[in-house]
Amino acid sequence: MWQDAESRVYLIQELDKRTGQGHSAISVDDTLKIIACREQQKKLSALEMDLAAARQEGFVSKQRSDNDGTRPKKKPLAVIGIITTFGRKKNRDAIRKAWMHSGAALKKLEEEKGIVVRFVIGRSSNRGDSLDREIDNENSETNDFIILNLVEAPEERSKKIKSFFVHAVESWDAEFYVKVNDDVYVNIDSLGATLSANLDKPRVYMGCMKSGEVFAEPSHKWYEPDWWKFGDAKSYFRHASGEIYAISRALAQFISINRSILRTYAHDDISAGSWFIGIDVKHVNEAKFCCSPWSTASDSIGIWIVLFYSST
């Protein structure tokens, strides 16, 4: 349309100039151009009328519609999933009181710091029983759960973590997605600063990186049924400790897209680490993500993670 407008102005100027010079006739080409410009002008006028009518009927652009006519919403910095289970209400209440907050304070955390925090839990194997009802009642009061459509069981924990990332990336378009256990204290400000410092890395996997022995004895606490897949040395690949780790949006999207073919192992931290083998991922060994014993507020630990008591 702008090109047509420029052509129209040019032709009108040419016509005025020639008329002023006493030329009573213009070429056939110029005549056709003027006719074409007039047709384009009619079409432009019709489009402007249609646009005005659409605005009166309430039609707006997609961007304005998504944001109620205001400026675009700021993308969340992180979605934190606190992995919890049945019988852990004391832990959840301690977290709400200590750093997660609830109600208006939780909403303020999302709006001002761009950090979304939710507890993550599955469903009872006996759907609708007292365990499910307790969680539903708690969630009706706090509105701070992600309730996944899978069985809540220790042996399903790796699948639960995968489902959390899938749900989170499909629900929030955040920069990072963070997995936290429900016995961990998180300094939100330090976490936000650490994540923000890694925004330039498109595929980042950040945590307290480690590796270790693969246990093949069924009686061992950390028994790995697939021990034989890890070679003769039976050593795990590099992965983040399971207390807390973060992945960028691209990796969460990778998990979501490939959810049906991503292998899960006996331990959720090993499973998460295995998903990023063979793809171009930046492993960030961040000491601030390593858990420490109970500390005082004067400690200079970046994320300042402390362990809660374990309660049932």
Tell me the pLDDT tens digit for each residue of 167-195: 999 999 999 999 999 999 999 999 999 99
**Predicted confidence band of residue 200 (pLDDT cuts 50, 70, 90):** very high
pLDDT higher than 80, residue 71? no
pLDDT higher than 50, residue 308? no
**Average pLDDT over every residue of 9-19:** 66
Tell me what pLDDT residue 295 has: 41
pLDDT higher than 90, residue 31? no
Reported as type and span, the H/E element at residue 270 is: helix 268-275
Euclidean distance between CA atoms 66 and 83, whole angstroms:
31
Amino acid at 233: A
Domain ranges of the chain: 2-66, 78-307
Tell me what pLDDT residue 46 has: 74
Euclidean distance between CA atoms 49 and 253, whole angstroms:
42
pLDDT higher than 90, residue 215? no
Tell me what pLDDT residue 33 has: 65
**Within 13 A of 153's CA, how many CA atoms are on the CB side?**
9
Angle at 53 between CA 48 and CA 54, to 5 degrees: 95
pLDDT tens, residue by residue, 114-144: 999 999 999 999 999 999 999 999 999 999 9
**Predicted confidence band of residue 309 (pLDDT cuts 50, 70, 90):** very low
**Predicted confidence band of residue 292 (pLDDT cuts 50, 70, 90):** low
Proportion of the chain above pLDDT 70, given as a percent? 72
Euclidean distance between CA atoms 95 and 123, whole angstroms:
21
**Average pLDDT over every residue of 42-69:** 58
Tell me what pLDDT residue 221 has: 78
Euclidean distance between CA atoms 197 and 191, whole angstroms:
10
Any idea how long the chain is?
312
CATH of domain 78-307: 3.90.550
pTM: 0.71
**Average pLDDT over every residue of 71-95:** 91
Tell me what pLDDT residue 74 has: 79
**Average pLDDT over every residue of 62-81:** 68
pLDDT higher than 90, residue 254? yes
Cβ atoms 64, 153 nearer than 8 A: no
**Predicted confidence band of residue 42 (pLDDT cuts 50, 70, 90):** confident
Highest mean pLDDT among 54-68, 193-207, 286-300: 193-207
Amino acid at 133: R
pLDDT higher than 90, residue 299? no
Amino acid at 107: K
pLDDT tens, residue by residue, 85-100: 999 999 999 999 999 9
pLDDT higher than 50, residue 302? no
